[in-house]
Amino acid sequence: MKEKMESKIESKIESEVKLELKSEIELKSEIEKTKINKQKINKREKRKWYTYLWIWSIVYFALGFFNILFAWLGMIDFLIPLVFAIFSGNKNFCNRYCGRGQLFRKLGNDCKCSRGKKAPGWISSKGFRYGFLAFFMTMFGNMIYQTYLVAAGATGLREAIKLFWTIRVPWGWTYTSGMTPDWIAQFSFGLYSLMLTSTLIGLVVMVLYRPRTWCSFCPMGTMTQGICRIKDSR
């Protein structure tokens, strides 16, 4: 009788162990399947047209090197993220269509130009992000004011770009006087300066830290995130 009981218990334990092993194997194969699916989705995603928008970032600066009036195209990068945030309440621009973010990822990850180190915490702190946004918007406002002064005839056109808001670099070969009203050219020089300066800052932090460190304090990113939050809270 006792032997019978023991063999019953043994066979019960055996079948439970088998069951556990089976479910473990099933779980492993599920994880494997999910991984393969993810890789497939990533591959499909990589082939989409918008994954090549990093090229646009390079083309933009190249065009501005030959003709500064192309700098106006930079307004696309200012307006489209706002349109996405205001009308769709999402950050799809950042996630999919931002050429600059893609360029940092490309250079940092694929070309191994980034040390890949974690950035110091203050870089992504609220205070720094909003402070930088305020500074950036002040500089943007100043650029508009300079354009206004030229339009009003109070000052002359300055055929130069300003790097890091301080270093003046002659850029006169990119513009022939009289091609357009001077204020249009002044705005181009100003916008190109802003775009180039922010990209250079992004490249520096990309090298020092992770590829897309710039995105953690990018004024457009901060602004669109703020808009999305306001929309979400309604």
* Residues at the site binding ligand SF4, with contacts judged by CB under 6 A: 81, 94, 98, 100-101, 214-215, 218, 220-221
Smallest distance from the beta carbon of 150 to ligand SF4, in angstroms? 29
User: How many angstroms from the chain centroid is the CA of residue 229?
Assistant: 18
Total Cβ atoms within 10 A of residue 121: 8
Smallest distance from the beta carbon of 52 to ligand SF4, in angstroms? 15
**Contact call for residues 165 and 135 (beta carbons, < 8 A):** no
Q: Nearer Cβ to ligand SF4, position 25 or 79?
A: 79
Q: Nearer Cβ to ligand SF4, position 30 or 110?
A: 110
The residue of the chain with the least Cβ separation from ligand SF4 equals 221
| Distance from C-alpha of 214 to C-alpha of 205, rounded to nearest angstrom | 6
Smallest distance from the beta carbon of 13 to ligand SF4, in angstroms? 56
Smallest distance from the beta carbon of 221 to ligand SF4, in angstroms? 3
Q: Nearer Cβ to ligand SF4, position 84 or 189?
A: 84
| Backbone dihedral region for residue 153 (phi beyond 0: left; psi -120 to 50: alpha; all else: beta) | left
- Spatial CB neighbours of 18, under 8 Å, sequence gap ≥ 6: none
